[in-house]
Amino acid sequence: MDTATCPRCHLPLNSQAVTCPHCGMQLKAYGHPGIPLHRATEKEYLCNTCTYHADDTCNFPQRPFAKECILYQNLEESKQELQQHYASSFGATVRSWMRRNQALVLLLVLLFVCLMIALSTT
């Protein structure tokens, strides 16, 4: 069982709990354990660090003063994920190209082997 702490009473609880069994605070949106409800700290708003606010695609009515949101994505985490994706994308691109062009790769290997045989017999 994964455990988390309640943001209000700071007592341990199940990470899939919809409401805190100790203080009754709502932890998941719409009473569904699969929809996380992101909350801002007391003096800040979620919109200041949200990806959707930064690219102006947010249509949440409480924007830019939202304290709770189900669509929140941290801007810094998104930037780090993109950097990691681009850093590892060259190898993935080569592997993807090799899979798509297996026949061409096999033909080139076969031609190379034939060339090596021809050169070794002369």
Q: What share of the chain is helix, strand, coil (3-state, %, to 5)?
A: 45, 15, 40
For residue 7, the model assigns a pLDDT of: 82
CA 39, distance to chain mean position in Å, is 19
Query: Among 22, 32, 92, 29, which residue's Cα sits nearest to residue 60?
Result: 29
pTM above the 0.75 mark?
A: no
Mean pLDDT along residues 7-12: 87
Mean pLDDT along residues 26-48: 84
Mean pLDDT, the chain, integer: 86
Q: Residue 86 above 80 pLDDT?
A: no
Query: Among 5, 35, 38, 3, which residue's Cα sits nearest to residue 18?
Result: 35
Burial grade of 72 (CB within 10 A; 0-12, 13-18, 19 or more): buried
Q: Residue 19 above 80 pLDDT?
A: yes
Crossing angle (nearest 10°) for helices 75-87 and 89-100: 50
